[in-house]
Chains A and B, each alone.
Chain A
């Protein structure tokens, strides 16, 4: 009974949202008296979304397992912070989270839109109403048929990580805030107001750049410290579909800077705002419709919303294309003096082009299964595709970002540039020489490293120059570029010069891994507070000794074997120990194990073994007993040609007790015995252990093995630069965000003042009478 408020809230959000959009339409048609109603309806919409989220969160916290969503993603044993994060563990919840942030951001949008309020809010709302409609169809408040389950299925153990608690929230803030530039861009096209939107939406674009970037890094760091394959980026569709919108947002941010500074290049930003938003929708379609299910590590369940996602994507892409095409000639362009090729404007345009081209190419690779399905066998690109394409793009971006620090809007001559770049070229050369000294020979890596060091130093000097002028607040872009240089240097070195070794460490036997000595000491048993771990003593070349504790444990709920690496971060190199396999060792075994598939005959030393069928004690299982009797029907045909039908018992316990197999004599061979070692009902197979049947006793002898731990030891040089460079980049982004937020506030106040004066004297347009609307806006620029 307690789910109906949730269902009502979602429907309430849909209806009030539609009503709000309708009312804004009326406002736009001249009914300004309806403006308070439109705003009230928006508040009602936002309230409904917040209430729906609150109800879902309450149901999760109260363990209402009769709600399908609660049952699928949460369980009683989850600590509070993971229980909290089950909200966005499934598709419905994460859609709701997206709308949640969207509804809150909308409260700022209507206040900053001023003269554009009606058109902006209509578009802004519509970017979320499609998702709300999906939630009405695929409600997170669906009930399971009775009886109420005692406990839920639980959260995927891989997601039970602090990083995964915050990662999706940060991500969806980024997704939601990108709706703002999109809405303003469409409104600008609609109302032909070509410049006012840039100043007001630049902070939102920067917010997306910051949050999406942070979310991507968090995901990467989580992969690095949890999954144990030694990397932070795998070019999986899920990763790509957050990277591509980020690249387009970076392009948009640069385009907006350009338009703000030069008061032209309007078309670029209108296109970029639409494209960036479209990539989010396309990514949502790719990852949530199930179309890539066979091509991604992450399994996406097809909820049957593919049609809806396609419709949403299609309508927004169509809207963007139609609006831009329709207004193309009306968008004012500045045909002015010719700018030299080596000018900041051109560098910006080139940078934007590279961002877009790279984004499109990554999107192409990610969409490979869809595209190839059209013409036959679905295929996927190898990860080398991404390496091959990002390398030249990374080089170009680094080069451009390095040059932009010392090329002004007016342009520079090559000679001036070379003079100002001299120090940075030396820095690049030094970095390359050092890398050569360490044995780096790969040309692409060396070129990238040179360019990265060059770009970082060029921009560092630009930051110093700004700081010297007392204008550090305006150095955000340069600082971000310093970070990009550092980060890409780290990516190149840690990626291309990692040393990987695979070893099996026998217990208490020191083994050399590079210049360190590793000794597997013992298994540290798990407790309620900590997971079971492997204790490995590491003696480094410098004589230091420490203990590494890579975790290896069975998830109590799902029985999955989880393995987390141990990472020892040094100033230069990370030593990364990923456990692969723990062998507890076993005493010698006498017997010969034979696997029989149902209905097939296997010949062992002349005797045929046919596995006919299983019979399980079904009644006992229905009673919920912890013990199952499995009867295996076999037909044995000894060399003498006789045929023996026999049934062998196997008692299987669902708790931890060992199984109890019955031992029978093998007919036809004196002294030979057989028993069931394992049953595999899923694939219809049984494993028999035979003794005394082989002519050669060696066939029935399995030697004892020593307790051992197999590990993969990776040395990652300079990976700290990846994280460090990222922080610097984000610091630059935050500086820019602060500066641009201030400008946006002033722009909003200014727009409000213009709006008021226009309202006060409605008969006289601000720039003079009798001019058509579009030429008026040209003049105002």
Chain B
């Protein structure tokens, strides 16, 4: 039986080693927009959705939109060939995973994060935030 255990241990270790190599090879870092522009591989970026920029190009079958970095205000155009996530428009932030090519992220995957409270409350909050007396 001992022999069997040795084979099993060797198999397990070999597989774990293989898993670790694959792990290192496919790791995609979270980058800022500027870092993403310089990188070649698959990256992920996060930002708020600019709701005015969201377009669906029916000839290219492609969704395009801009992500805005809430801290710096920088913009990153993103295109995505795939089903628009259901809660896309309500997103408080969107994670795009893909490559930076031709001035935009070509996303392979989108992760959409939504607010727990829904629209009505959001609109009111936003309006009261930009109420008179508050200087910009």
Contact = CB atoms under 8 A, between A and B. Distances in A.
B3 A392 contact: no
A504 B61 contact: yes
B61 A613 contact: no
B16 A381 contact: no
Contacts of A559: 89-90, 118-119
A557 B28 CA distance: 36
Interface string B43-84: 010101011100010110101000010000000000001111
By secondary structure, the A interface counts as mixed
Contact of A561 (B9, B42, B86): B86
Contact of B1 (A339, A352, A682): A339
B56 A613 contact: no
Residue among B5, B31, B112 with most chain A CB within 10 A: B5
Nearest to B84: A580
Interface in B105-136: 109, 111-114, 116-119, 122-124, 126-132, 135-136
Nearest to B19: A361
Contact of A683 (B26, B42, B50): B50
Contact of B11 (A350, A360, A504): A350
Contacts of A628: 127
Given A229-B82, A341-B3, A294 B127 contact: no
A353 interface: yes
Given A378-B30, A560-B86, A712-B83, A299 B114 contact: yes
A615 B132 contact: yes
Interface string A573-611: 000001011010000000000010011000000000000
A542 interface: no
Interface string B2-41: 1111011101100110111011011111110000000000
A275 B68 CA distance: 43
A393 B16 CA distance: 11
Contacts of B3: 338, 341, 346
B22 A389 contact: yes
Contacts of B84: 561, 563, 580-581
Interface residues of B, number: 70
A341 B7 contact: yes
A682 B86 CA distance: 20
B128 A349 contact: no
A560 B11 contact: no
Given A72-B116, A381-B27, A678-B52, A618 B127 contact: yes
Contacts of B8: 346, 349-350, 352-353
B90 A560 contact: yes
A101 B104 CA distance: 50
B83 A295 contact: no
B117 to A, nearest CB: 7
Contact of B89 (A345, A372, A561): A561
B87 interface: yes
By secondary structure, the B interface counts as mixed
B61 to A, nearest CB: 4
Contacts of A502: 61, 81
Given A339-B1, A388-B26, A618-B127, A580 B15 contact: no
Interface in A336-387: 336, 338-339, 341, 343, 345-346, 349-350, 352-354, 356-358, 360-361, 364-365, 368, 372, 377-385
A683 B129 contact: no
A558 B17 CA distance: 47
Contacts of A614: 130
A581 B122 CA distance: 25
Given A294-B46, A618-B131, A364 B56 contact: no
Contact of B23 (A341, A364, A595, A708): A364
Contact of B7 (A157, A350, A377): A350
Contact of B136 (A295, A357, A684): A684
Given A299-B114, A558-B118, A157 B131 contact: no
Given A338-B3, A580-B61, A710-B61, A680 B11 contact: no
Contact of A710 (B23, B56, B68): B56
Given A153-B118, A227-B83, A297-B112, A595 B52 contact: yes
Nearest to B10: A353
Contacts of B31: 377
Given A563-B86, A708-B58, A557 B118 contact: yes
Contacts of B20: 364
Question: Which 3 A/B pairs are nearest by Cβ-Cβ distance?
Answer: A361-B19, A346-B4, A502-B61
Given A614-B130, A621-B127, 15 more contacts: A72-B116, A153-B118, A154-B118, A301-B116, A339-B1, A350-B7, A372-B29, A377-B29, A379-B27, A559-B119, A560-B90, A561-B89, A581-B56, A598-B136, A618-B131
Interface of B: 1-5, 7-9, 11-12, 15-16, 18-20, 22-23, 25-31, 42, 44, 46, 48, 50-52, 56, 58-59, 61, 63, 68, 81-90, 95, 97, 109, 111-114, 116-119, 122-124, 126-132, 135-136
28 contacts: A227-B83, A299-B114, A338-B3, A346-B1, A346-B7, A349-B4, A349-B5, A353-B11, A353-B12, A377-B29, A380-B30, A380-B44, A381-B28, A382-B42, A382-B97, A385-B23, A385-B26, A389-B15, A393-B15, A559-B119, A561-B84, A563-B83, A580-B84, A595-B52, A598-B136, A621-B124, A685-B52, A710-B61
